[in-house]
Amino acid sequence: MKTFLPLLGKEVRALFQSPIAYIVIGVFLGLMGYSFTITLFNNKYATLIHIFFQSAGLMLLIVPIITMRLFAEERKAGTLELLLTAPVRESHVVLAKYLASMAVLGAMIGLTGIYALVLGIYGSPDWGAIYSGYLGLILLSSTLVSIGLVVSALTSNQVIAAIVTIGISFSMWMVDSLASMAPDALERILISFSLLARFTPFATGAMYTSDFGFFLSSTLLAMFLAMRALARR
């Protein structure tokens, strides 16, 4: 803990010092605000389902922009050598970067709570569905961030890190569309890996333990792989 807190502080400060975080949050809120307003005026439904799906789709692009620099930049600048030759654990280094990224995404998702407030003031939304939608977004972010961490830990090129992370994230998002063409045995497996299939219940107000388990275990697995990627080869 003694060495973890300074690592976390450094990561949070680095993310919030860079203009990337503010630009990403600003663009995200702008797009989501536009979508929320248009949908609300057209449909007159007190729901955020469309916001949750659109946010999830944008996350697939936004998270790689945030995670691309985490290790790739340090590897390129040589500071990773400084960090890993100090008496710190790899797990602390990975966890600090994960939590700092989640702080940015948490702030971004949290600010969309204004839409829920607006709905609450002028309508009577289904709060259960709103809570589960937000929880789904956080869990989805968690999996995407840890995938981004693994990829960033494997390269010193930020652009490559971003593109590969986008590729993996999109593949996992829509892998269920392949399922109908696959043999039965494979169909289930493909669906079970689909981020869209896992996220949909949360966005629509249904929560299943298996989906929780998927997001948590995929996060842990990816963070373990990130630690392995940092291993002193």
Partner 1 sequence: MTAPVIVAQNLTKYYGSRLAVDGVSFDVRPNEVVGLLGPNGSGKSTILRILTGYLYPTAGTARVAGCDVVSQGLEARRQLGYVPEDVPLYTNMRVNEFLAFMGRIRGLDHARLPKAIDRAIDRLSLGRVRTLLISKLSRGYRQRVAIAQALLGEPKLLILDEPTNGLDPRQIIEVRELIRTLSGELSILVTSHILAEMERVAHRVAILLDGKLLSVQTLGAHESNAKYRIRVPGSSALAVQSALREVTGVDFVETLPNDFYSIASNAGATPVVRALVGAGLRVEEVGAAASGLEELFLRLTEGSPR
- Give the nearest distance from C-beta 34 to partner 1 in angstroms: 33
Instruction: Tell me the C-alpha distance between 183 and 142, whole Å.
Output: 30
Q: Quick one: which segment of 3-11, 54-62, 151-159, 182-190 binds partner 1 (CB under 8 A)?
A: 3-11
Q: How far is the CB of 149 from partner 1 (least distance, A)?
A: 19
List the interface residues with partner 1, window 213-232 (CB under 8 A).
231-232
Q: CB burial class (10 A; 0-12, 13-18, 19+) of residue 61? A: middle
Burial (CB count <10 Å: 0-12, 13-18, 19+), residue 181:
exposed
Asked if residue 51 lies in contact with residue 32, where contact means CB atoms within 8 angstroms, the answer is: yes
Establish if 163 lies at the interface with partner 1 (CB under 8 A).
no
Choices 25-33, 79-87, 122-130, 156-164; region in contact with partner 1 by CB under 8 A: 79-87
Q: Which strand (E) or helix (H) includes residue 45?
A: none
Residue 102: CB minimum distance to partner 1, A? 21
Choice from 26, 45, 81, 186 touching partner 1 (CB under 8 A): 81
Neighbour count for residue 167 (Cβ, 10 Å): 12
Binding to partner 1 by CB under 8 A, coded x per residue (else -) over 83-122, reads: xxxxxxx---------------------------------
- Using CB under 8 A as the binding rule, whether residue 1 contacts partner 1 is answered as no
Binding of partner 1 by 10 (CB under 8 A): yes
**Considering only 23-31, 36-44, 72-80, 134-142, which stretch makes contact with partner 1 by CB under 8 A?**
72-80
What is the residue type of 231?
Answer: A
At 126, give phi and psi (nearest 5°).
-80, 100
- Is 38 a binding residue for partner 1 by CB under 8 A? The answer is no
Q: How far apart are CA 20 and CA 148, in angstroms?
A: 16
Contact (CB, 8 A) for 215 and 140: yes
Instruction: Pick the closest to residue 137 from 14, 53, 233, 32 (CA basis).
Output: 53
Per-position x/- string for 17-36, each x denoting binding to partner 1 as judged by CB under 8 A, each - no binding: x-------------------
In terms of DSSP H, where are the helices of 44-157? Answer: 49-77, 79-84, 90-111, 113-122, 127-153
Q: Is residue 14 at the binding interface for partner 1, with CB under 8 A as the rule? A: yes
User: Which of 1, 2, 44, 210 contacts partner 1 by CB under 8 A?
Assistant: 2
Q: What is the dihedral of CA 219, 220, 221, 222, to 10 degrees?
A: 50
Of 23, 82, 189, 216, the residue at the interface with partner 1 (CB under 8 A) is 82
Which positions touch partner 1 (CB under 8 A)?
A: 2-3, 5-7, 9-10, 14, 17, 77-79, 81-89, 231-233
